[in-house]
Amino acid sequence: MTSIRRRTLGVVLLMFGLSMLVIGTVSYHYAAHEVEELYDANMVQSARLLEGLMQAPLPAPQRALLLESIDTALKRAEQADQSIAGHRYESKLAFQAWRGETLLLRSALAPEAPLTDLDNGYGNARLADGGWRVYALSTPDDDLRVIVGQREDVRGELIAAIALRTLIPDLLGLPVLGLLLWWATGWGLRPLSQLAAQIRSRDPQNLQPLVMRRLPRELATIAGALNRLLERIRSLRAREQRFIADAAHELRTPLAVLDLHAQNALAAEDPEDRREALDKLRGGVARATRMVSQLLTLARLEPEQEGDGRVREIALLPEVREALAKLMPLAVEGRQELQLEADETADWRLDVEPGTVDTLLQNLVGNALQHSPAGALIRVMLSAGHDAVTITVEDQGPGIPAEQRQQVLARFHRGGPGAGAGLGLSIVDRLLQRHRGELRLDEAPGGGLRVTASLPRTPRDA
């Protein structure tokens, strides 16, 4: 991939070159036009000088001597007298002086025929040696006509030379400018190179913030974003390590109990003892399986784990009925009763992530069944409001003291010896946070625990 330095230099030089081309073209045409105007003015000035010379009030003999002297001087150019300094363009410039049809005076190598038929003004003439730019000036009172001409190729050559010389500094300055821009771009990008070198030389295990002094504002933004990313990675790694340590600690005891039940089953000689040990082993496997499932659910709901955005509209009441149907065998086994209270006519539409309602009820109702005695009533109440829907679960267990209700939301916090892994309410709390919902713990009218989970509606739901 092309470096930023080369891309920047290429774009700048391209834009500067195009600008120079446009400006140079305009400057060339403007300079050529001005030089043309200058030459035309020079022709007019020469014609008026000749007019004044030819109209000088001199006696006839002196006028003849003056014309003869001028003619002799002009013939030197015609004879190419190298002893007298001249110019190679001298023969390309011509003038004639006519009185009527009589040629009074002409320059070196000027034709003997009139350069133009014009009486006054500018014109173009085509002679045997090429094109000419001519100017004619007539004086009607004495029938004098002065014609001044310049070869068009000479005018064009001079105009091009003068105009092009104005572009030479730009043409010579472009490579110099390119070198200066190359150096300036490298100097400006030096902090970026230093930042890249520091990142390349860094140990992959080093997640400490990047430290660079006097960074430009743009690179400070990038360095800040990288440091925030490193902080998130470091925090995520710390959470993963803590989670692994917690999981290993929590699974050690259930696995040891499972191993003990397996040893008892292997060592038992009485079939009844063996069956009892195997039943305990199955129960321990079920508890360990539930704990692993809760651990995976909690890991999926960690704050750093971004949601996949799969939110769909559900009908809450049918979802709750289906989730309670899955929990009914546990209630029957514990000789407990599950009761659902909801308004059938209410609007139960809600946008949530898939599996949210099932996970909420598995943990809330599962906790209520676990902590309530046999014959207890577990009430599940639904309420549909304009801004939110609420799920309330009431049990008839021992409840949670008010001073401990915030602590039970922490991971692995148990309410008693047989209270499970201590993950259920943590999962519910994290799930509600993902949906910008609210979890509230209160005392139930019968002395147990009332848990209220509120899920906000989106504007489309409302």
With vertex at residue 71, the alpha carbon angle to CA 69 and CA 74, rounded to the nearest 5 degrees, is 110
pLDDT, position 417: 44
Mean pLDDT over the full length of the chain:
77
Pairing of strands 93-99, 144-151: antiparallel
d(C-alpha 41, C-alpha 9), whole Å: 46
CB atoms under 10 Å from CB of 339, counted, come to 11
d(C-alpha 462, C-alpha 342), whole Å: 18
pLDDT at 204 over 90: no
Nearest to 360 by CA among 428, 279, 451: 428
Determine what percent of the chain is predicted with pLDDT higher than 90.
6
DSSP class of 101: T
Residue 79 vs residue 207, higher pLDDT: 207
Residue 413 vs residue 456, higher pLDDT: 456
d(C-alpha 129, C-alpha 282), whole Å: 120
pLDDT at 301 over 70: no
Confidence of residue 42 (pLDDT cuts 50, 70, 90): confident
User: Do 439 and 432 contact (CB within 8 A), yes or no?
Assistant: yes
C-alpha distances in Å from residue 239, one per residue of 11, 153, 291, 449: 47, 87, 18, 31
User: Do 189 and 216 contact (CB within 8 A), yes or no?
Assistant: no
Q: Which residues contact 16 (CB under 8 A, 6 or more apart)?
A: 174, 177
pLDDT at 66 over 70: yes
* Strand spans (E) along 334-401: 337-341, 349-352, 377-384, 388-394
DSSP class of 120: S
User: What pTM does this model have?
Assistant: 0.44
User: Do 410 and 454 contact (CB within 8 A), yes or no?
Assistant: no
d(C-alpha 404, C-alpha 415), whole Å: 9
pLDDT at 304 over 60: no
Residue 334 vs residue 108, higher pLDDT: 334
pLDDT at 337 over 60: yes
Helix (H) or strand (E) holding 102: strand 102-106
d(C-alpha 188, C-alpha 8), whole Å: 11
Provide the CA 419 distance to its chain's centre, in angstroms.
Answer: 53
pLDDT at 270 over 70: yes
| Token code pair at residue 202 | 């860094």
pLDDT at 103 over 90: no
Provide the CA 216 distance to its chain's centre, in angstroms.
Answer: 18
Confidence of residue 419 (pLDDT cuts 50, 70, 90): very low
Domains of the chain from N-terminus onward: 4-168 (3.30.450), 217-300 (1.10.287), 312-456 (3.30.565.10)
